Structure 1
Amino acid sequence: MRRLLSLAFAAILLSLSLQAQRATGVSAAATARITVSGFVTDAGSGERMIDATVYERASFTGTTTNNYGFYSLPLNPGKAEIIASYLGYDADTAEVWLTRDTVINFSLTMSSSEIAAVTVTASGRRAKIESTQMSMIDIPVDKFIKLPVIFGEADVLKVIQLLPGVQSGTEGSTGIYVRGGGPDQNLFLLDGVPVYNANHLFGFMSVFNPDAVKSVQLYKGGFPARFGERLSSVVDIRMKEGNEKEFSGNVAVGLISSKFSLEGPIIKDRTSFVISGRRTYYDILARPFIMRYNQGQEDKTTGGYYFYDLNAKVNHKFSEKSRLYLSSYFGRDRAYTRNTYRPNYEGDDDIRMEYKDSYGLGWGNMITALRWNYLITNKLFSNTTLTYSKYDFDVTIESSVEELNSKARAVDYFKYFSGIEDVGARTDFDYYLSPKHSVKFGTGYTFHYFKPGVTTFRFDSGIMGDTGLDTVIGDMKVRANEFIMYAEDNIELAPKLKMNAGVRLSLFNVQDTSYFVFQPRISLRYLAGEDLSFKLSYSKMAQFVHLLTTSAISLPTDLWLPVTRRYEPPVSHQVAAGTGFLIPGNLEVTLEAFYKTMDNLIEYKEGAFFG
C-alpha cells in the first residue's frame, strides 16, 4: 500500500510539472532565452549575500540568490535593466544589451538613508508573500545581537524562543519545543553540519557565538526536501566568511564572559578569514570567595565552571566559478571541584594522612566542514561538502588517601564517557531552467559512530596491600550508515499558482537492519492579490537518532542513540495552511494553522539499558 501511495504521489508531481512546463515554457525554436548569472556580494566585506533579490525592471522577472550568493536569471534578448537589492542595502542597477549569456556580479552598499532602507524592506517582504515557502522565519542577525537576554549576552536560541510556534523548556534554558515536538526533534545546522549539543551553561546559553553568525533561518513546517533527519524543526545557521577587503575586529568584556573577533584578507579579493572566540570566567570570579571560605578550615576546597568556544573560517576564490571554504567550530564546558584534607594528629608523628576528592564534568562539540562551490554552467550550480561532527561528555570522580611518610596511596576512580561521531559527504545542485522554474537535487552519505556509555572503575590500594580492581563496563560501540537522495521542483503552474514539490529518500542501516523511508513534500501558493497570498503545505519527516533524556532540563549527560532492530524510526506528518499579507506601514502579517501527527515515538524508562 505504501509503495502504491509513493508511486501515485510521484506520478502526480511529474504530471503537474509537465503541465506547468507546457503552460509556462516557451519553445526554444520560438525564442532564444539569454541567461544572466552571477553573484551578489557585500561591497564592504566581499561576503556573498543569501536571498538577495535580482530582477529585470521592465518584465519584473526576478529570482533570489542561493545560500552562496549565486543567481541565474533567463531573459529575452535586447535591452535590460537588472536590479539587485537586499534588506538594509542600497539597490544596485546594471543596464545591458543582451545578445548572449552574460555574467553580472553585484556589490551592494549598506543603506545610508532610512528611506532607502524602508524601500528595500517592503520589497523583501513582498518576496516572502510571493514565495511558496511557509512556516519559515529569517532572523536578522543585526537585530538579535542588540537584544541582551541573560547577563547582557545576546543569544540566538533565546531569540528563537520568542517566535510564534516555539516554546521554551525550563525557565532560562535554551531548549526549544516546536509545534508540539521535543528538544531532540530539532536539527541544528552550522554551515550545513549537524550540532548535537547546542547548549552551554547547562542550557542557559547556546553554543552559537553571535559574532561568528551570518544568517539564521528557522523552519517549523513546509520543509524543503533538502532538509531531513528531525521531526519538528530545522535551524539553519551560516557562519561569516571573512572580510576580503580590509582587516577589522572587536574585543568585548561582559559580566560573565569576554570575546573577540578578527577578520580580514589573506590575499585581497581572493582569500579571507574570520576567527572569533569567547570564554566565561565564573571560575575566576569565584576564587576570592572560595579563598575566603578556606581561611581557618582544615580542608581546602576549590572549584569552578567555565566554557569556551572558537569559530574559524577560511575561504579562497580560485576563479569566479570556483571557491573553497574550510570552517570549524570547537567548544567545551567544564565544571569541577577539588577538596584536600590533612587531619592534625597531635602527639602522633608517625601518622600523617592526606585525603583528596575531585569531581569533573565536561562536554563539548567539534565540527568541521570543507566545502567546494563550482559553477558548472550559468544555469547549474554545485556544492560539494565533506563534514565531521563530534559530541562527547565525561564525568570523572576520584578519591585518594595517601600516607605522607611512606607515600603509600589508595585510589578510588570512576569515569563515565559517552559520545557520537559523524563523518559525511554530500553534493547539492541548483538548476535554473527559467525564472518560473528551478530544481534542487542532491545526495549524501553519513557514517555514524555511537558510544552510548562507557563506565570505568578503578580501585588501587597501596595502603592495604596489593589488592586492586580495574574494569570497564558498557564499552559498546554502535555503527550506522545513512544514505539520502532528494529532489525538489519549484515551478509556477499558473500566473497566480506556484508549487514547490519534492521527495526525500532515506536509507538507514544499523545492527544489520535497514530502514527505507519515502518522504514526500509539497507546498502551494496562490497569489490572491499584490500583497495577499494563501499557502498550503504537507511534509513527512523521519528521524533515525534520538535523545535519551531523564529530566526536563537539557543536561550534557543525555545520550544520543540510533534506532535499533526492534523499533522503526519515528515519523511525523504535518499539514499547514496559512495566509500572508502586507498592511499599511510596511508590516507583514502571517496567520497559520497546522495539524501534526508523530508515530513510533520512543520513551525510555528510568534505568533502562540500550541494546
Structure 2
Amino acid sequence: MITKIQGFFLSFLLITSIAFSQNSSDKIALSSLLITLEKNYDIKFSFSDTDVKNIFIDAPKPGISIDELLTFLNEKTFLHFKTLDNRYVTVSFLNKSISICGTVLDANSLTPLNLASVTIDGFKTGTTTNNEGVFYLNNIPVNATLSISFISFKTIKITAKELFSITCKQLFLEEETEQLSEITMQKLLTSGLQKNADGSTVLNTEKFGILPGLIEPDILQTIKILPGIESVNESVSNINVRGGTNDQNLMLWDGIKMYHSGHFFGLISAYNPYLTKKVSVTKNGTSSAFSDGVSSTINMETSDRITNKFSGGAGFNLLSADVFLQVPIKENLELHISGRRSFTDFVNTPTYNNYFSRSFQDNSVSSNNIKNYESDFYFYDYSFKVLYDIGYKHSIRANFIQIKNNLDYLEKYTSNNTTIEENSTLKQENLGASLSWNANWNYEFSTNLSAFVSDYKINSSDYNKDSDQFQTQFNNVLETEIKLDTKYEFTDVLHFKNGVVFNEIGIRNTTTVNAPTFSKTVKNVLVKSAFYSEIEYQKNNTYARFGVRSNYFHKFSKFVFEPRINVRQKINDEFYVKLEGEFKNQTTAQKIDFEDNFLGIEKRRWILADDTNTPIIKSKQASFGVEYKLPKFYVDITGFYKKVNGITAANQGFYNNTQTFTSTGNYEVKGIEFLVNKQTENISTWLSYTFSKNNYTFAIFNPETFANSLDISHSLSAAFSYNFTESFKVSLGSVLRSGKPFTKPVLGNETIQIGNRTIVNYNNPNQERLANFFRIDFSTSYDFKFRDAIKSTIRVGFTNITDRNNMIDSYYILDETSANNVNRVNTYSLPFTPNLSFRVNF
C-alpha cells in the first residue's frame, strides 16, 4: 500500500513538474527525470552519471507506454536507450551529431572575446566568436573535443557533450604569461603583425594597426618595413629580399602562384587587403611544401572558415574604391567577394598626379617636345571564394582572382602644319583560379588535393615619333599545377607531412616592329614533378622542422634535391636561438628590356629556363640568429649568407656595357639584420638596421666580381606609434639607406662606335653610388561607430613629408644634338604625397 501511495505521489510530482515546465518553458535535468521514471514505470536505467550530466530535456507526456517513452528519449537526447528485457534499460552514447554554443570571456575582466578561435580537434573546421563572445556550431560529433584559443590567452579544451545545454555555457580564458607556441611574439611593431615560431612574419590584415605613411594594410608595402626587405625603387613590384631580385619572390594567393603584384606600375599592392586575412613572409628555412622563390615566399591567404554571418565593408582613398562581402548561402555554404577599381580615369587627385609623374618621369609622357597628350589610366582587381563544407571531415574551396592595369596614351603633335595623333597602350593582367578538397580521414590523418591555373599577360603597343617606329610586345605565362598534401599527426607535437606535385609552365613572347618589318615569337613549355617530405616537432622550448624536396624536370631529364631545416630553441626565459637553411630552385625569371621601352618605362618580360642560355636558378642559404624577449620588449639579431647561381645578365637590370650580353653568373650576399621593438600600453617604437655586402660574379666580364645592382650596404629605419586613445592613433617613421650602385661612362670617351651604331661607352660596372636615400612618413587614424554593428575608420597618410628629392636610379643616353656627348637621366622617388582613406565595416 505504501509503495502504491509513493508511486502515486511521484507520478503526481512528475505531472506537476511537467505542467510547470510547459508553462514556464523550463527543461528537466535528465538525471532527475530518469530517477522519477524508474519509480513511475517500475523499470531500471543503467547509465553513468557523467553521460547524463548537464543534459536537460522536455518532460514526456504522462501516461505513454514504455516503448513510446524510450522512443521519446532517443529522439530528445544524443543517448541510446535500449531495453534488455521488460525491466532493464541500458543507456549509452550514440555516435550522432549535436548543435552547441558557448560564450568566451576574459577570466579577469569578464569581457567577451571577439574573434576567439573555436576549432574541432582532428578536423580542419571551426568558427570564431562574435562581438558578444558567442559561437555556434551545428552537427558536431557528440564525442568531439573543441579547442578554444585567443591571442595571448591560454587555450582550453572542452568536449562537445559538455556544451550541450539549453544555454550557451560561459567559458573563461586566462591570459598567457609565457609560452613558446605557434606565435612567439603577439605584437611586432604594430597590432596585426606577428612572428611565428618558424621565423616567418605574419600580417593579420583584420587586426592591422597603423604604420608610417600607410592609410590601409597594403600587403606588400607593409612587409617592406621588415629588416632585410628593401625596394630600391620604392615599388612593391620590385621587392628585394636579402639582395634578391623581385622575380625571386614566390607570390602565392590562396595557393595560386601570381606573376603580377602591383597596381600603378608597382606603387600599390594589387591584392585587396580586406579579404586577404593572413600574409606570411618567409626569408629562409621554408617548408619543403613550397618550391620556386629562391629569395622568399610571400603566402597570402583569405578567410577559410564559414562564419554563417553576413558581414563586409567598403571604402575609398584618393585613388580607388573597394568593397568586400562575406555572404552565407546555407549553413555549410558561403561566398566571399571583393572588388576594387580606381577612378583615376575620371578624377585626377593630387595623389594620382604625383603617382603618374613618378611613373612616367624622363620619358615621352613628360617630354617638353609633346605639347598635347592625353592619358587614360585605370586599374581594378576582384576576387571571389566559394566555401562548402560537406561535413566535418570534408570541405571544398574554390577561388578566383583577376588583376588588371590599363593605360591608353594619346600623343598629339604637329608636323608640316599637320596634326598627327598616335596611340600607345599598355595592358597588364593576371587571372588565377584554384580548387581544393580537404579531407580529415580520422583524428591523425588528413589530406588536401588542390589544383590551380595562373594566366599572366602583358600586351603593349608603342609609337616612337622620333624613329617613326611602331612596335608591339606580348608576354604570356600560363601555369597549371595539381598537388596532393598529406599530414599524419603522431601526437599533438609531432607531425609528418608529405606531398606530390605535377606542374606545367608555358611562356610565350612575341615582338613585332613595322620599320624595319620584324616579327618574332618564342614559346617554351616546361613540365616538372616533385615529391616532398618533412617532419615537424613543436613542444615547450623547441621548434624543429626538417624536410627535403625532390624535383624532376622532364625536358632536361634532371633531378634537383633540396634539403630544408628550421630550428628554434628556447635557452631560458629571455633567450632563444634559431638556425635556418635551405636549397631552392626556380625556372622562371624576368628579362628586363631597355631598348624596347614602353614610353620610357623599363619592361619586364617573363622567360623560362632552357638549361643552356637560361639555366635553372638555384640558391643556397643559411642564417643563424638570437632573440631576446621580455614583456613589451623584443630584440632580434640574425646573420645570413646566400648564394644564387644561374642568374643571367639580361634579368639584372644593368645600365652598362654588359646589358646586352648573353651570360650567366651568380651573386653572393652576406649580412646581418637587427630589430629592436619597445612597447608600452600606448606606445610602440622600433629600430631596424640591415648591413649587407652583395656582389655579382660573371666570368666573362672584366672585372669578374663587382657590386650587385641591388647592393644596399646600410639600411636603417625607425618609427614611433602612439595611441592617444583606443580610437585615435598616430605613427611617424623614417628610412635612411645607402644609394644603389650605378655606372658612369668613361670620362672623355663617353661614346663608342659599333658598326653603324653609336652607343654609350660605360666604365666598369657599378663603381659609383647614388646619394643616400632619406624619407620621413606620417599617418594618423581615427575609429568611430555609426552603430554598434557598423564601424568606421578615417586614415590620413603623408609620404616624404620633407619633400626630399631622393634619386633612386641613374643612367645615360646619347645626346641627340651631338654625336659624341651623352645625357644623364635621373629617376626620383615620390615627392611629398598626401593620401586619405575612409572605411565602413559591418
Same fold judged by TM-score > 0.5? yes
Q: Which residue of 2 aligns with 1:597?
A: 643
Q: Alpha-carbon deviation of 1:379?
A: 0.8
Higher relative contact order (CA 8 A, sep 6+): 1
Read off the aligned partner of 2:343 and give its amino acid letter.
Y
1:507 and 2:552 aligned = yes
Contact 1:423 1:447 in 2 (8 A): yes
Q: Alpha-carbon deviation of 1:365?
A: 0.7
Query: For residues 96 and 173 of structure 1, what CA distance do their matches in structure 2 show?
Result: 46
Q: Which residue of 2 aligns with 1:335?
A: 407
SS at match of 1:157: helix
Q: Alpha-carbon deviation of 1:372?
A: 0.9
**Structure-2 change in CA distance of 1:153 and 1:81 (3 Å):** closer
Q: Deviations over 1:258-288 (max 9, x none)?
A: 1111221011x21101111111122212499
**Structure-2 change in CA distance of 1:129 and 1:201 (3 Å):** closer
1:316 and 2:388 aligned = yes
Q: Which residue of 2 aligns with 1:128?
A: 184
Q: Which residue of 1 aligns with 2:527?
A: 481
**Structure-2 change in CA distance of 1:513 and 1:527 (3 Å):** same
Q: Alpha-carbon deviation of 1:441?
A: 0.9
Q: Which residue of 2 aligns with 1:6?
A: none
Query: For residues 317 and 581 of structure 2, what CA distance do their matches in structure 1 show?
Result: 45
Q: Alpha-carbon deviation of 1:96?
A: 7.9
Q: Alpha-carbon deviation of 1:339?
A: 4.8
Contact 1:426 1:445 in 2 (8 A): yes
SS at match of 1:253: strand
Q: Which residue of 1 aligns with 2:733?
A: none
Q: Alpha-carbon deviation of 1:575?
A: 1.6
Q: Which residue of the other structure, out of 438, 452, 455, is the alignment partner of 1:373?
A: 438
Q: Alpha-carbon deviation of 1:520?
A: 0.7
**Structure-2 change in CA distance of 1:66 and 1:547 (3 Å):** farther
Query: For residues 453 and 102 of structure 2, what CA distance do their matches in structure 1 show?
Result: 29
Please show how residues 546-561 of structure 1 align to structure 2 within 5 Å. 546-550=589-593, 557-561=603-607
Please show how residues 397-436 of structure 1 align to structure 2 within 5 Å. 397=462, 414-436=471-493
The answer to which of 229-238 and 247-256 deviates more is 247-256
Query: For residues 426 and 286 of structure 2, what CA distance do their matches in structure 1 show?
Result: 37
Report which of the two structures shows the higher radius of gyration computed on alpha carbons: 2
Q: Alpha-carbon deviation of 1:248?
A: 2.1
Contact 1:454 1:472 in 2 (8 A): no
Please show how residues 17-166 of structure 1 align to structure 2 within 5 Å. 83-87=147-151, 93-94=157-158, 119=175, 123=179, 127-128=183-184, 133-144=197-208, 146-147=210-211, 149=213, 152-166=215-229
The answer to which of 140-149 and 528-537 deviates more is 140-149
1:274 and 2:336 aligned = yes
Q: Which residue of the other structure, out of 613, 619, 623, is the alignment partner of 1:572?
A: 619
1:529 and 2:551 aligned = no
**Structure-2 change in CA distance of 1:133 and 1:299 (3 Å):** closer
Which consecutive unaligned segments of at least 5 residues does structure 2 have?
1-100, 105-113, 129-142, 163-167, 187-194, 354-369, 651-657, 665-842
Query: For residues 225 and 576 of structure 2, what CA distance do their matches in structure 1 show?
Result: 25
**For this pair of structures, how many residues does the alignment match?**
499
Please show how residues 484-499 of structure 1 align to structure 2 within 5 Å. 484-491=530-537, 499=544
Please show how residues 282-297 of structure 1 align to structure 2 within 5 Å. 282-286=344-348
**Structure-2 change in CA distance of 1:521 and 1:240 (3 Å):** same
**Structure-2 change in CA distance of 1:532 and 1:42 (3 Å):** farther
Contact 1:92 1:108 in 2 (8 A): no
Q: Alpha-carbon deviation of 1:528?
A: 2.1
SS at match of 1:564: coil
SS at match of 1:264: strand
Query: For residues 394 and 562 of structure 1, what CA distance do their matches in structure 2 show?
Result: 18
**Structure-2 change in CA distance of 1:357 and 1:555 (3 Å):** closer
1:260 and 2:323 aligned = yes
Contact 2:181 2:540 in 1 (8 A): no
Query: For residues 435 and 181 of structure 1, what CA distance do their matches in structure 2 show?
Result: 37
TM-score when scaled to structure 2?
0.52
Query: For residues 454 and 92 of structure 1, what CA distance do their matches in structure 2 show?
Result: 59
Query: For residues 260 and 526 of structure 1, what CA distance do their matches in structure 2 show?
Result: 43
Q: Which residue of the other structure, out of 384, 390, 401, is the alignment partner of 2:455?
A: 390
Read off the aligned partner of 2:443 and give its amino acid letter.
N
**Structure-2 change in CA distance of 1:188 and 1:121 (3 Å):** farther
SS at match of 1:159: helix
1:189 and 2:252 aligned = yes
The answer to which of 175-184 and 208-217 deviates more is 175-184
Query: For residues 184 and 174 of structure 1, what CA distance do their matches in structure 2 show?
Result: 9
Q: Alpha-carbon deviation of 1:299?
A: 9.5
**Structure-2 change in CA distance of 1:543 and 1:344 (3 Å):** closer
The answer to which of 520-529 and 159-168 deviates more is 520-529
Q: Which residue of 1 aligns with 2:286?
A: 223
Query: For residues 277 and 110 of structure 1, what CA distance do their matches in structure 2 show?
Result: 38
SS at match of 2:233: coil
Q: Which residue of 2 aligns with 1:448?
A: 505
TM-score when scaled to structure 1?
0.71
Contact 1:86 1:120 in 2 (8 A): no
Q: Which residue of 1 aligns with 2:424?
A: 359
CA RMSD of aligned residues (A): 4.5
Which consecutive unaligned segments of at least 5 residues does structure 1 have?
1-40, 56-62, 71-78, 99-106, 291-297, 346-352, 401-410, 460-468
Query: For residues 443 and 252 of structure 1, what CA distance do their matches in structure 2 show?
Result: 42
Q: Which residue of 2 aligns with 1:58?
A: none
1:606 and 2:659 aligned = yes
SS at match of 2:222: helix
Percentage identity across paired residues of the two chains:
22
Q: Alpha-carbon deviation of 1:65?
A: 9.1
Q: Which residue of 2 aligns with 1:9?
A: none
Query: For residues 173 and 259 of structure 1, what CA distance do their matches in structure 2 show?
Result: 20
SS at match of 2:647: coil
Q: Deviations over 1:35-89 (max 9, x none)?
A: xxxxxx9999xxxx9997989xxxxxxx99979999xxxxxxxx99975313278
Q: Alpha-carbon deviation of 1:573?
A: 1.5
Read off the aligned partner of 1:499 and give its amino acid letter.
A
1:439 and 2:439 aligned = no
Contact 1:450 1:561 in 2 (8 A): yes
SS at match of 1:477: strand
Contact 1:515 1:568 in 2 (8 A): no
Q: Deviations over 1:77-112 (max 9, x none)?
A: xx99975313278955415899xxxxxxxx99999x
Q: Deviations over 1:397-427 (max 9, x none)?
A: 4699xxxxxxxxxx98642111211011111
Q: Alpha-carbon deviation of 1:327?
A: 0.6
Query: For residues 639 and 288 of structure 2, what CA distance do their matches in structure 1 show?
Result: 21
Q: Which residue of 1 aligns with 2:608?
A: 562
Q: Which residue of the other structure, out of 293, 296, 302, is the alignment partner of 2:374?
A: 302
Q: Which residue of 2 aligns with 1:516?
A: 559
1:180 and 2:243 aligned = yes
Contact 1:174 1:203 in 2 (8 A): yes
